[in-house]
Amino acid sequence: MYLHTRLLLGILAITLLALAVSVAVPLASLRQDVSRETGASLQLAHLLFDIEASARDSDSAEAARAAAAREIHQAQHLRHVSLTLADPQGQVLAATPGGRPAQSWLARLLLPTETGRAVDYPLSYRGEPLGVLRVEANPLSEFEELEDRVTSDMALLALAILAMAVSIYGIVRRGLRPVGQIKEALTRLAGGDLEARLPRFGLKDLGEIGEGFNHTAQVLNDAAHARRELTRRLNQVEEAERTRLSRELHDELGQSLTAIKVDAVYIAREAAGRAPQIETCARGIENLATGVMDLIRGMLARLRPHALETVGLRESLRELIAGWEARLSGRFQCSLVMGESVDELPAELNVALYRLVQECLTNAVRHSQARALAIRLTAERAAEAGLPAGVRLRVQESGGEAQAAPAAEGGMGVLGMRERVESLGGQLQLSPTPTGLTIEAWLPLVSPESVDG
């Protein structure tokens, strides 16, 4: 069944129920009205018979007139009519209880002028006239009852409409409840939660939407896993290429420069005092070789921090920070706080943390012009159940210029940091501050590929 079919059937059922109630209630009221009308007619007939019998059984005309008046006084309220007894001179001797009702709003609307009718019946005792019985129609009482009926019917109609509206609202709300679930799942998916899934819906069209959404989310999730794995392997290839390149620079170019420097020193020593120009050129070659060797040494440190493999992450980060502080000659300060439990991290995680700190230092000095950087590296367990223990890196800039997080995220450096962190199953968050950026990265000790395997 489709969603629109369920909604239409539900609204149709409520409409038919309301129609049945609106027909049944007036029919029940009509039955009561017929019974009351019949009773009123019989009541009037019995009263006339009683008046006639009381007058006939009396001893005199005065007694008969008094008996007739007594019957009228003792009578109950007559419906829609009134009965009066008048003597031959027209003086009213008795009248049925109940006065004339006030003219109601319905009577004013439908009966602008009063059009009552009366029937006179002469009453006599053994041929002597006793008076006149007058039966007068009273349409105002009919309108009074109609007004009460209209009021009750309007109240019933209002309740029926309210109940119908509440029922339709409940049906529509229940029918559209899956739409809210779809919206929530789309919001989660847009927020980066690729594990968002929709439940199985009983309706055909919503079921097709749910299946399509779940398939799309699964495809995106698989693509994200593949991209993270590709990024991780690219980082491994990059680090391997950095290692190979640094080895070749150290072994090949470093040895050649050392040989050039040795030869330049030898030439300068031999030419000393005999060929000043040759000695000067030799000293220049020696200084040039020394400068190139220093440059290569810095390149080697950036390409592959060999200290990671020898003295570990802690000393490598201290050496990296000291190099930046030395180059900036006191215009930049950096503090490093590391927990004791971060000294025995896997090699891949050491490289990732080193590269993250390296990029944060570059961003702080070149982009935000920060004058101070606080780096904190601690091992912790994630709050979410089921995740392995991880390492949290927090880098906070100060003394620089404010940066907007979206602009910073668009940079290639931050993009590379994010891809590196996500490839290892971690999370990266950037928070803009008035004096720079605060970067937080969380990396699990066990990669997602290891957990899945």
- Token pair belonging to 222: 């698989």
**Bigger pLDDT: 305 or 75?**
75
Tens-place pLDDT, residues 369-386: 778 889 999 887 555 544
Question: CB–CB of 449/400 below 8 Å?
Answer: no
The residues, any chain, with a CB within 8 Å of residue 58's CB and separated by 6 or more, are: 64, 66, 67, 125
Instruction: Tell me what pLDDT residue 74 has.
Output: 84
Tens-place pLDDT, residues 121-138: 888 888 788 888 888 777
Mean pLDDT, residues 152-180 taken together? 82
Evaluate if residue 453 carries a pLDDT over 50: no
**Bigger pLDDT: 113 or 62?**
62
The residues, any chain, with a CB within 8 Å of residue 224's CB and separated by 6 or more, are: 194
Residue type, 363: N
Report CA-CA distances (Å) from 136 to 78, 81, 361, 402.
11, 6, 109, 97
Tens-place pLDDT, residues 207-252: 888 888 888 988 988 888 888 788 778 877 877 787 777 777 766 7
pLDDT band at 13 (very low <50, low <70, confident <90, very high): confident
pLDDT band at 257 (very low <50, low <70, confident <90, very high): confident
The residues, any chain, with a CB within 8 Å of residue 202's CB and separated by 6 or more, are: 1
Average pLDDT value for the chain:
78
Question: CB–CB of 185/197 below 8 Å?
Answer: yes
How, if at all, do strands 128-137 and 333-338 pair? unpaired
Tens-place pLDDT, residues 310-321: 778 888 888 888
Token match 């001797």: residue?
93
Instruction: Tell me what pLDDT residue 292 has.
Output: 85
The residues, any chain, with a CB within 8 Å of residue 283's CB and separated by 6 or more, are: 264, 268
Q: How far apart are CA 252 and CA 264, in angstroms?
A: 18
Mean pLDDT, residues 4-32 taken together? 78
Among 59-68, 179-188, 306-315, name the one with the lowest average pLDDT. Answer: 306-315
**Bigger pLDDT: 109 or 426?**
426
Evaluate if residue 84 carries a pLDDT over 70: yes
**Bigger pLDDT: 220 or 309?**
220
pLDDT band at 403 (very low <50, low <70, confident <90, very high): low
pLDDT band at 281 (very low <50, low <70, confident <90, very high): very high
Helix, coil or strand: residue 356: helix
pLDDT band at 307 (very low <50, low <70, confident <90, very high): low
Evaluate if residue 390 carries a pLDDT over 70: yes
Q: What is the separation of C-alpha 285 from the centre of its chain, rounded to a whole number of angstroms?
A: 72
Q: What is the CA radius of gyration of the chain?
A: 53
Instruction: Tell me what pLDDT residue 452 has.
Output: 46
pLDDT band at 399 (very low <50, low <70, confident <90, very high): confident
Q: How far apart are CA 78 and CA 44, in angstroms?
A: 7
pLDDT band at 407 (very low <50, low <70, confident <90, very high): very low
Mean pLDDT, residues 286-315 taken together? 77
Helix, coil or strand: residue 312: coil
**Closest residue by Cα to residue 95 from 69, 61, 125:** 69
